[in-house]
A and B are shown apart, each in its own frame.
Chain A
Amino acid sequence: KQEVTQIPAALSVPEGENLVLNCSFTDSAIYNLQWFRQDPGKGLTSLLLIQSSQREQTSGRLNASLDKSSGRSTLYIAASQPGDSATYLCAVTSNDYKLSFGAGTTVTVRA
């Protein structure tokens, strides 16, 4: 069974600092990996999707890397802003298309 772990569980930084969020998974036989953002009481917003054959994806201030062999992904958020405050979820899609989610990293960016 796929296990997804996210470290740290919570993170508080001053505005302008770069954020580094880590995700690890136990089974490297994955279809893809996604990073989501979730605001309190809301649904999921997909941020980045990395196919199993790719090593990274970038969108604006966000960059996500994937090392499938070691079972790790890292989400970098450059020059953080208060609007980046949210919970970030990492999810791994297995080859049967089921998603396994990590518990998330709750980010607070202080103005």
Chain B
Amino acid sequence: GAVVSQHPSRVICKSGTSVKIECRSLDFQATTMFWYRQFPKQSLMLMATSNEGSKATYEQGVEKDKFLINHASLTLSTLTVTSAHPEDSSFYICSARDPGLAGGPGPDTQYFGPGTRLTVL
């Protein structure tokens, strides 16, 4: 199956700093990527949809100036948590949409990265 990587896998930072998380699709081109966050013992919540070459679409309640998303190429999307605070500590996971080949047998599928654990002190 397709592979999605995330970097870093774990980051610890001081309050007030900014943290950038990268999401890469390694063997396919992803016109759309999604960013989720997961608090302990809770499920994943969609934060935003990232489209290559255009502005991200944020879900209700997600601050777009806090969570900056850039999808500069078909294989890379970045999430920057600006002026991070302890309440931003969470597990951030990205997914990349592989639409499959037109007319081919493959279904439109999302592939998930391994996640990034952010701890803000």
A interface residues (Cβ-Cβ under 8 A, vs B): 31-32, 36, 41-44, 46, 49, 51, 89, 91, 93, 97-104
Within B89-121, the residues touching A (CB, 8 Å) are 91, 93, 95, 97, 107-115, 117
| A42 neighbours in B (Cβ, 8 Å) | 114-115
**A101 and B115 in contact (CB under 8 A), knowing A44-B93, A49-B107, A49-B109?**
no
- The distance in angstroms between the C-alpha atoms of A23 and B2, with both chains bound, is 26
Number of B interface residues in the complex (CB < 8 A): 23
- The distance in angstroms between the C-alpha atoms of A104 and B34, with both chains bound, is 20
> Which residue of B44, B108, B114, B117 contacts A101 across the interface (Cβ within 8 Å)?
B44
Would you call A32 and B107 a contact (CB within 8 A)? Answer: yes
- The distance in angstroms between the C-alpha atoms of A93 and B113, with both chains bound, is 17
- The distance in angstroms between the C-alpha atoms of A44 and B113, with both chains bound, is 8
B46 within 8 A of A: yes
| A43 neighbours in B (Cβ, 8 Å) | 93, 112-115
Would you call B44 and A97 a contact (CB within 8 A)? Answer: no
Pairs A-B, 10 closest by C-beta atoms: A43-B114, A43-B115, A101-B43, A103-B43, A44-B112, A101-B44, A104-B43, A97-B97, A43-B112, A98-B46
| A97 neighbours in B (Cβ, 8 Å) | 32, 97, 108, 110
B54 within 8 A of A: no
| A–B complex contacts, Cβ < 8 Å, 17 sampled | A32-B107, A32-B108, A42-B114, A43-B112, A44-B44, A44-B112, A44-B115, A46-B112, A49-B107, A89-B43, A93-B110, A97-B32, A97-B108, A98-B49, A99-B110, A101-B43, A101-B44
